[in-house]
A and B are shown apart, each in its own frame.
Chain A
Amino acid sequence: MSRLQIQGLTKAYGPIRVVDSIDLTLQEGEFVSLLGPSGCGKTTTLRMIAGFVDPNEGSISLDGQVISAPGAVLPPEKRGMSMIFQSYAIWPNMTVAENVGFGLKLRKLPSDEIRKRVQEILEVVQMGHLAARYPAELSGGQQQRVALARAIVVKPAVLLLDEPLSNLDANLREEMRFEIRRLHDEFRITTVYVTHDQSEAMATSDRIAVMNAGRIEQVDAPHMLYTRPRTRFVAGFIGRTNLLPAQLRNGEIGFGGIAMQAGQVPGAEGAAGGEILVSVRPQSIGLHRAPPGGSSPVLEGVVAQRTFLGETWDYVVRAQGSELRLRATAPPLQIHYVGERVWMEFDPQQMAMVV
Chain B
Amino acid sequence: MSEAPALPRAQAAPIQARRSGRLARFEPVTLLWVALIAILLFLVAFPLGKLLVVSFETRGTGEFTLMNYVSAYGRSRYVDALVNSLRLGLTSATIAVVMAVPMAWAVSRTDMPFKGLTWAVVLGAFILPPYLSAVGWILLAGPNSGFINLFWRWATGADGALVNIYSFSGMALVIALNAFPLVFIFVKSALDLVSSEMEDAANILGAGTWTAMRKVSLPLVWPAIMAGFIIVFLEAIALFGTPAIIGIPARINVVTTQLWQFFEYPVRVEVAAAYAMPLLLITAGMIVVQKLMLARKGYVSQTGKGGERRPIKLGPWRWVAFGWCAAVGLMAVIAPLFVLLQASFAKAWGRGLAWDNLTLANYRLLIFEHDMAMTSIWNTIWFSATAATIAVLLALMVAYIVNRKLVPFGEALGFLAMAPFVIPGIVMAIGFYAAYASPPFALYGTAAIIILAFAARFLPIAYANSSSAIRAVHPEMEEAARILGSGRLHAIWMITAPLVRKSLLGGWLIVFIVASRELSAAIFLVGPRTRTMSVLLYDLSEAGNFEVLAAFGGLLLVVTMVFVGIGMKLVGRDFMLRRN
A: which residues have CB within 8 A of B? 50-52, 62-63, 65-67, 69, 71-83, 85-87, 89, 91-93, 102-103, 106-108, 117, 120-121, 123-124, 150, 153-157, 160, 186-189
A85 with B4: in contact, given A91-B495, A93-B499, A155-B12 (CB under 8 Å)? no
Indicate if the CB atoms of A93 and B15 lie closer than 8 Å: no
Indicate if the CB atoms of A78 and B15 lie closer than 8 Å: yes
Indicate if the CB atoms of A157 and B3 lie closer than 8 Å: no
Write out the residue numbers on chain A whose beta carbons fall within 8 Å of the beta carbon of B25. Answer: 73-75
Indicate if the CB atoms of A74 and B14 lie closer than 8 Å: no
Write out the residue numbers on chain B whose beta carbons fall within 8 Å of the beta carbon of A87. Answer: 474, 476
Q: How far is the CA of A72 from the CA of B9 in the complex (A)?
A: 25
Q: Can you name 29 A-B pairs with beta carbons within 8 Å?
A: A51-B483, A52-B482, A62-B19, A63-B16, A74-B19, A75-B25, A76-B479, A76-B482, A77-B484, A77-B485, A78-B18, A80-B12, A87-B476, A91-B481, A93-B495, A102-B481, A102-B486, A107-B14, A120-B3, A120-B4, A120-B5, A124-B5, A154-B12, A155-B7, A155-B8, A155-B11, A155-B12, A187-B7, A188-B7
**CB-CB contacts below 8 Å: B1-60 with A:** 1, 3-5, 7-12, 14-16, 18-21, 23-25
Q: How far is the CA of A82 from the CA of B482 in the complex (A)?
A: 9
Q: How far is the CA of A154 from the CA of B15 in the complex (A)?
A: 10
Q: How far is the CA of A154 from the CA of B485 in the complex (A)?
A: 10
Write out the residue numbers on chain B whose beta carbons fall within 8 Å of the beta carbon of A155. Answer: 7-12
Indicate if the CB atoms of B9 and A93 lie closer than 8 Å: no
Write out the residue numbers on chain B whose beta carbons fall within 8 Å of the beta carbon of A66. Answer: 23
Q: How far is the CA of A156 from the CA of B11 in the complex (A)?
A: 8
In chain B, what residue has the closest Cβ to A102?
A: B484
Q: How far is the CA of A67 from the CA of B19 in the complex (A)?
A: 8
Q: Which of B11, B16, B24, B484 contacts A72 (CB 8 A)?
A: B24
In chain B, what residue has the closest Cβ to A54?
A: B25
Indicate if the CB atoms of A85 and B15 lie closer than 8 Å: no
Write out the residue numbers on chain A whose beta carbons fall within 8 Å of the beta carbon of B12. Answer: 80, 154-157
Indicate if the CB atoms of B19 and A154 lie closer than 8 Å: no
Q: Which of B11, B16, B18, B20 contacts A154 (CB 8 A)?
A: B11
Other 13 A-B pairs with CB < 8 A, given A78-B19, A80-B19? A63-B16, A71-B24, A77-B485, A80-B485, A83-B479, A86-B476, A87-B474, A102-B481, A103-B484, A107-B15, A123-B3, A150-B480, A155-B10
Indicate if the CB atoms of B11 and A85 lie closer than 8 Å: no
Indicate if the CB atoms of B23 and A72 lie closer than 8 Å: yes
A216 to chain B, nearest CB (A): 23
**CB-CB contacts below 8 Å: B485-508 with A:** 485-488, 494-495, 498-499
Indicate if the CB atoms of B487 and A93 lie closer than 8 Å: no
Indicate if the CB atoms of B486 and A106 lie closer than 8 Å: yes
B95 to chain A, nearest CB (A): 45
Write out the residue numbers on chain A whose beta carbons fall within 8 Å of the beta carbon of B9. Answer: 155
A93 with B498: in contact, given A80-B12, A187-B7 (CB under 8 Å)? yes
Indicate if the CB atoms of A81 and B483 lie closer than 8 Å: yes
Write out the residue numbers on chain A whose beta carbons fall within 8 Å of the beta carbon of B120. Answer: none
B187 to chain A, nearest CB (A): 33
A187 with B4: in contact, given A78-B18, A80-B12 (CB under 8 Å)? yes
Q: How far is the CA of A156 from the CA of B20 in the complex (A)?
A: 17
Q: Which 5 A-B pairs have the closest CB atoms?
A: A80-B15, A103-B484, A89-B480, A89-B476, A85-B476
- B477 CB–A CB distance under 8 Å: yes
A106 with B19: in contact, given A85-B479, A89-B480, A187-B4 (CB under 8 Å)? no
Write out the residue numbers on chain B whose beta carbons fall within 8 Å of the beta carbon of A74. Answer: 19, 23, 25
Indicate if the CB atoms of B476 and A77 lie closer than 8 Å: no
**CB-CB contacts below 8 Å: B184-237 with A:** none
Write out the residue numbers on chain A whose beta carbons fall within 8 Å of the beta carbon of B480. Answer: 83, 85, 89, 91, 150
Q: Which of B23, B479, B485, B494 contacts A89 (CB 8 A)?
A: B479
Q: How far is the CA of A157 from the CA of B15 in the complex (A)?
A: 10
B481 to chain A, nearest CB (A): 7
Write out the residue numbers on chain A whose beta carbons fall within 8 Å of the beta carbon of B499. Answer: 91-93
In chain A, what residue has the closest Cβ to B10?
A: A155
Indicate if the CB atoms of B24 and A89 lie closer than 8 Å: no
Q: How far is the CA of A84 from the CA of B498 in the complex (A)?
A: 21
Write out the residue numbers on chain B whose beta carbons fall within 8 Å of the beta carbon of A92. Answer: 499
Write out the residue numbers on chain B whose beta carbons fall within 8 Å of the beta carbon of A154. Answer: 11-12, 484-485
Indicate if the CB atoms of B11 and A121 lie closer than 8 Å: no
Indicate if the CB atoms of B4 and A186 lie closer than 8 Å: yes
Write out the residue numbers on chain A whose beta carbons fall within 8 Å of the beta carbon of B495. Answer: 91, 93
Indicate if the CB atoms of A106 and B485 lie closer than 8 Å: yes
B471 to chain A, nearest CB (A): 14
Write out the residue numbers on chain A whose beta carbons fall within 8 Å of the beta carbon of B494. Answer: 102
In chain A, what residue has the closest Cβ to B480?
A: A89
Q: Which of B4, B18, B481 contacts A124 (CB 8 A)?
A: B4
Write out the residue numbers on chain B whose beta carbons fall within 8 Å of the beta carbon of A186. Answer: 1, 4
Write out the residue numbers on chain A whose beta carbons fall within 8 Å of the beta carbon of B483. Answer: 50-51, 76-77, 79, 81-83, 160
Q: How far is the CA of A91 from the CA of B3 in the complex (A)?
A: 28
A192 to chain B, nearest CB (A): 13
Q: How far is the CA of A86 from the CA of B474 in the complex (A)?
A: 11
Write out the residue numbers on chain B whose beta carbons fall within 8 Å of the beta carbon of A78. Answer: 15, 18-19, 21, 485
A107 with B24: in contact, given A77-B482, A78-B18, A80-B16 (CB under 8 Å)? no
A315 to chain B, nearest CB (A): 40
In chain B, what residue has the closest Cβ to A68?
A: B23
Write out the residue numbers on chain A whose beta carbons fall within 8 Å of the beta carbon of B8. Answer: 155, 188
A153 to chain B, nearest CB (A): 8
Write out the residue numbers on chain A whose beta carbons fall within 8 Å of the beta carbon of B474. Answer: 87, 89
A91 with B484: in contact, given A71-B24, A186-B1, A187-B7 (CB under 8 Å)? no
In chain B, what residue has the closest Cβ to A69?
A: B23
In chain B, what residue has the closest Cβ to A73?
A: B25
In chain B, what residue has the closest Cβ to A121?
A: B5
Write out the residue numbers on chain A whose beta carbons fall within 8 Å of the beta carbon of B21. Answer: 78
Write out the residue numbers on chain A whose beta carbons fall within 8 Å of the beta carbon of B484. Answer: 77, 82, 102-103, 106, 150, 154
In chain A, what residue has the closest Cβ to B5?
A: A120
A157 with B481: in contact, given A71-B24, A77-B487 (CB under 8 Å)? no
B500 to chain A, nearest CB (A): 10
Write out the residue numbers on chain B whose beta carbons fall within 8 Å of the beta carbon of A62. Answer: 19
B519 to chain A, nearest CB (A): 40
B572 to chain A, nearest CB (A): 16
Indicate if the CB atoms of B479 and A157 lie closer than 8 Å: no
Write out the residue numbers on chain B whose beta carbons fall within 8 Å of the beta carbon of A117. Answer: 5
In chain B, what residue has the closest Cβ to A103?
A: B484
Write out the residue numbers on chain B whose beta carbons fall within 8 Å of the beta carbon of A103. Answer: 484-485
Write out the residue numbers on chain B whose beta carbons fall within 8 Å of the beta carbon of A93. Answer: 495, 498-499
A116 to chain B, nearest CB (A): 8
Write out the residue numbers on chain A whose beta carbons fall within 8 Å of the beta carbon of B15. Answer: 78-80, 107, 157
Q: Which of A79, A83, A124, A156 contacts B19 (CB 8 A)?
A: A79
Q: How far is the CA of A102 from the CA of B5 in the complex (A)?
A: 17
In chain B, what residue has the closest Cβ to A72?
A: B23
In chain B, what residue has the closest Cβ to A118?
A: B5
Q: How far is the CA of A314 from the CA of B21 in the complex (A)?
A: 59
**CB-CB contacts below 8 Å: B444-487 with A:** 474, 476-477, 479-487
Q: How far is the CA of A75 from the CA of B27 in the complex (A)?
A: 11
A150 to chain B, nearest CB (A): 7
In chain B, what residue has the closest Cβ to A116?
A: B5
Write out the residue numbers on chain B whose beta carbons fall within 8 Å of the beta carbon of A83. Answer: 479-480, 483
Write out the residue numbers on chain B whose beta carbons fall within 8 Å of the beta carbon of A108. Answer: 14
Residue among A71, A121, A155, A187 with most chain B CB within 10 A: A155
A112 to chain B, nearest CB (A): 14
Write out the residue numbers on chain B whose beta carbons fall within 8 Å of the beta carbon of A69. Answer: 23
Residue among A74, A76, A81, A160 with most chain B CB within 10 A: A76
